Chain A
Amino acid sequence: MLRVETLSKSYATPQGPATVLDGVSLEVGAGRTLALMGESGSGKSTLLHLVAGLDAPDEGRVFVGDAEMTGRDDAGRAALRRERVGLVFQQFNLVASLTVADNLAFQARLAGREDGVWTARLTERLGLAALTGRYPEQLSGGQQQRVAIGRALALRPALVLADEPTGALDETTAETVMTLMLELVAETGCALLMATHSARCAARLGERLVLRGGRVDAAAMRAAE
């Protein structure tokens, strides 16, 4: 479902170009989950951004299903993201002026694929049925993250990208949110690529990939196994 081939990215800094990703390749099949681990600055978020088409790589290619994300212009990348990729951020990134119900359906509506039955089921599963008329600022962190997960899954994406989805939550809430996300990902059969610092969260995913200095750290991966 997701194929990343030798992806590289560097940014200009006053000290000269800084390489953030250096030839990273990976693959996540449909219904599979992969945890992306590594220290801060190891390139996890950059990799997610490049996969989502929020930024363009210097080298390498990204395929979501049979469609190539790289090589498209901004509008093309946005269209592919809208159609096939659900994003979950650490800070939830809900639209503050929309209700829970509208936030949940938002990306599916943008893609023109709103499915009322599926959205209602998601709402139920996420425990948000009583909160649909509320605004994000009236929700707790855990509730907001559940809305964000619902928004990502409401369009039945091919790929879900999650960037530290439990980073802003307490341990118990994080457990609950992780459980829900994994159940729903399994139910939709999409691929999940999740960046996380938490070994405990990573352990719950099918596969793990460790980044260090922008490269895949094979030794660390063996140690983690």
Chain B
Amino acid sequence: MTFRWTLAALLSHWRRRPGQAAALLAGLALATALWSAVQALNLAARDSYDRAAALLGGAATVSIARPEGGDFDQALFVTLRRAGWPVSPVLEGRARLGERTWRIVGVEPVTLPPGAALASLGEDAGPDDPAALLGRPRGALATPETLEAVGAGDGEAFEAGGLTLRAAARDGLAPATLVVDIGVAQRLLDAPGAVSRLVAPARHGRDPSELAALTGGRLAQLEASPDGDLARLTDSFHLNLTAFGLLAFVVGLFIAHAAVGLAFEQRLAMLRTLRACGVPARTAALALLAELACFALAGGLAGMALGYLVAALLAPDVAASLRGLYGAPASGELALAPAWWLSGLGMTFAGAMLAAGSGIWRAANLPALAPAQPLAWLAGHERRIRAQAFAATGLLMLSAMIARSGEGLVAAFAMLACLLLGAALATPALLSAGLAFGAARARRPLARWLWADARAGLGGLSLALTALMLALATNIGVGSMVTGFRDTFTGWLDQRLAAEIYVRAPGEDRARAFEAAAPALPGVSAVLPTRTAEIRLAGLPVELLGLRDHATYRARWPLLEQEAEAWDAVAAGEGALLSEQLARRLRVGLGDVVTAPGAEGPWPLRVVGLHPDYGNPKGQMVVGLDPLMERLPQAERGAFGLRVAPERIEATMSAITADPALAGVEAIDQAAVKRLSLGLFDQTFAVTGALNALTLGVAGVALLASLATLSAMRLPQLAPVWAMGVTRRRLALLEFGRTMALAAAVAVLAVPLGAALAWALVEVVNVQAFGWRLPLHLYPGQWALLAALALGVAALAAAGPVLRLARTPPARLLAVFAQER
């Protein structure tokens, strides 16, 4: 009974102050929303990776393949089967069907290991699957969404790569993936007789060392599935998203903390009354805890719903980024497991406890005779900000130490966390010092009062101002990084896309035909064929790119570092150019030797240059085209580059399209490639931009919530000034000016922090996460725009409370004196 009525009394506070309740709910909901949105996006993507990895049994199978990567002849499969190995061939690759590129997985349904056969299909994987693949016309298994994108319904026939296939919908498959019979895959991928790997049950009972003898050392059992590469490659992307989610969560908690702290102070008198009426301290604390749990549940559920909405809006962009950046089969559909709900609500509860824990602790230990002093927290503010300033100094020093000696992405994020937290803790102290400085120099009485009053009121606003400062600094830092990256990327594209036209030919025959015909095309001054091979160096997937020795590359290929005569060494097959991220991962530099696998044995190559290769998750190694064909004859055809006089580009493109001998050859001009690349770049950072804007929005709500809840408590400070002859209108203007001045001060503080953040992102996080280092660009114009935006947010937040103050009836101001104790 005591608990029930205590809780009812506590809750009645919120009924009387719905704005304050809304602020608390908004804080918790917004914190949860952005966090859970990011988690939903990560979960959806990881679910896609898992489904891709589990397609052929996941942990239930092992892969047998060339240790150095690349396809091999299916004769090796036959050899192993004859020797009694329970292997099944798989061919994987990407093929363009219609407007999009799809992941093609070719399997041999009859020999697929039992228990692993298309295991991820779950209940859909019935005994009809082999039949579905082998029937006439041949089957193509895919998710209903993938089939819809291909343009075929379940059971319908469709054309792909000159074949007629019958669509068979299967829900459990990885997105953007077509599972077909291996014979079909060999035709779709133009790889007759090729196999990417063999799968076998994990407990196949054979001695892996037999493999060397049976295959002449060409195949080995892989320690890790090649599918695991995807998860590793995309880790940094997901970590970045998580970091954003966490930042938004913290900013949201600031709102909740401000609202709860204020409510606790406002209810000190009520707590004393409750104690006087016989409520034990423990019961009061338990009731406060229950009240908080109610809010956490309501805010958490609202936040999860909002988070789902945000995630659903961002999911297509994230999926496109993952597909574009990493070739990851991300579907853009949210797969929300119960764990997502539970972890989201768990975060809300933990966050609410973090935000309100100190208040509840104080309530539990509140002496029954504690004087009810509203604004007592403001009185203790000075003491608190001194302690915060000490902690801030320590954190900023720690951040600097990690920046100097830390390694790895986790250290990079720890450095960022220390930097942001240190700056957040330092903000109230810096603002207080600034206001004290102003107060000391003010001469006129009203100005002196204004400075002093602003300083006294800082305690109530400091959390919201800190949240605004963090959001602003993040926007500046991330904005600088993204804009700098875009500028660098654009410049790099201009250099890297040396040819005027790029051409892809389907199949070897067409490629040969094109290579023969190309020099005669109108306006073509040079034909630059390329070949690529997938290899592994030190266990890392690497793309070996063969370039013809040509003046175009010597003049334009962007290099960060190079030896003298680098291109001669490349052309001679003695040297290689490594992408920056590959060199960093392999820890090699100019003059070091890396050994690539060759058909006839190891191929030692001296590192003669390092080139930037932005956006490529795999390492890249550039070698001479002719040496590549000598060492790895199975290297696949890549795109052809055509050097064409700019005014002839259109004519050349038309000639390619018009020639019936070149049917199926796709040509794209340099400008279109740039458009596509920049489009992909912008799409990738659209998510970052959206999260950035949302964080700033949350900070705006924090400020609005604080100002709204504080406005009623401001009356006792304002009423005496009003009584002394300052009009309500003037007081309202002064209040507005006070808020704007504080917001401006916050913007000034955010600029150096934002610049530091940009430096940390560019020099540390980018290098650790992606392996490439970008030049640091700073954009003062962007900062000014963001500062103006922050002032706008502050003006919007202050407008309501200020207007209310201007219209406050004199009776309410007089009531301050009537009720004064």
- Residues of A participating in the B interface, judged by any CB pair closer than 8 Å: 49, 52, 54-55, 74-75, 78-83, 85, 87, 89, 91, 93-98, 102, 106-107, 109-112, 135, 137, 151
Contacts and interface: CB of A to CB of B under 8 A. Distances in A.
Interface in B762-821: 815, 819, 821
B13 A97 contact: yes
11 contacts: A79-B278, A89-B276, A93-B269, A93-B272, A97-B9, A97-B16, A102-B12, A106-B9, A109-B1, A110-B2, A112-B1
A110 B278 contact: yes
B275 interface: yes
Contact of B368 (A55, A96, A102, A135): A55
Given A74-B280, A97-B12, A109 B5 contact: yes
Contacts of A52: 276
Nearest to B15: A97
Contacts of B281: 74-75, 78
Given A82-B2, A110-B2, A95 B9 contact: yes
Interface in B3-18: 5-6, 9, 12-13, 15-17
Contacts of B815: 137
A110 B275 contact: no
Nearest to A53: B368
A106 B369 contact: no
A110 B1 contact: yes
Interface of B is mostly: helix
Contacts of B283: 75, 78
Contact of A94 (B5, B273, B369, B821): B273
A112 to B, nearest CB: 4
Given A83-B278, A106-B9, A110-B2, 20 more contacts: A52-B276, A55-B368, A75-B280, A78-B280, A78-B281, A78-B283, A79-B278, A79-B280, A81-B276, A82-B2, A87-B276, A87-B277, A89-B276, A93-B269, A96-B16, A97-B12, A102-B12, A110-B5, A110-B279, A111-B1
B504 interface: no
A54 B369 contact: yes
A67 to B, nearest CB: 13
Interface of B: 1-2, 5-6, 9, 12-13, 15-17, 269-270, 272-283, 367-369, 815, 819, 821
A82 B269 CA distance: 18
A116 to B, nearest CB: 15
B429 to A, nearest CB: 29
A93 B272 CA distance: 8
Nearest to A45: B369
Nearest to B367: A55
A75 B282 contact: yes
Choose among B17, B272, B280, B282 the residue with the greatest number of A CB atoms under 10 Å from its CB: B280
B187 to A, nearest CB: 76
Contacts of A107: 277-278
A82 B279 contact: yes
Given A75-B280, A96-B270, A112-B1, A54 B275 contact: yes
A95 B16 CA distance: 11
A78 B9 contact: no
Contacts of B2: 82, 110-112
Given A81-B278, A96-B270, A54 B12 contact: no
Contacts of A95: 9, 12, 270, 273-274
A204 to B, nearest CB: 24
Closest 3 CB pairs of A and B: A82-B278, A112-B1, A75-B280
A91 B368 CA distance: 16
A85 B368 CA distance: 15
A162 B275 CA distance: 16
A106 B279 CA distance: 11
Contacts of B819: 137
Contacts of B276: 52, 54, 81, 87, 89, 93
Contact of A78 (B15, B278, B367): B278
B5 A106 contact: yes
A54 B368 contact: yes
Contact of B277 (A80, A91, A97, A110): A110
Given A97-B12, A135-B16, A137-B819, A106 B269 contact: no
A188 to B, nearest CB: 17
B16 A49 contact: no
A55 B369 contact: yes
Residue among A78, A89, A98, A137 with the highest chain B CB neighbour number at 10 A: A78
A93 B371 CA distance: 12
A75 B98 CA distance: 76
Contacts of A81: 276-278
A98 B821 contact: no
B438 to A, nearest CB: 35
Contacts of B17: 97
Contacts of A89: 276
B365 to A, nearest CB: 10
A96 B271 CA distance: 11
B505 to A, nearest CB: 78
A111 B819 CA distance: 30
A106 B2 CA distance: 10
A49 B277 CA distance: 12
B821 A91 contact: yes
Nearest to A75: B280
A93 B821 CA distance: 12
Contacts of A102: 12
A86 to B, nearest CB: 9
B270 to A, nearest CB: 5
A81 B280 CA distance: 10
Nearest to A106: B277
A119 B155 CA distance: 77
Contacts of A106: 5, 9, 277
Nearest to A78: B280
A170 B369 CA distance: 27
Nearest to A81: B278
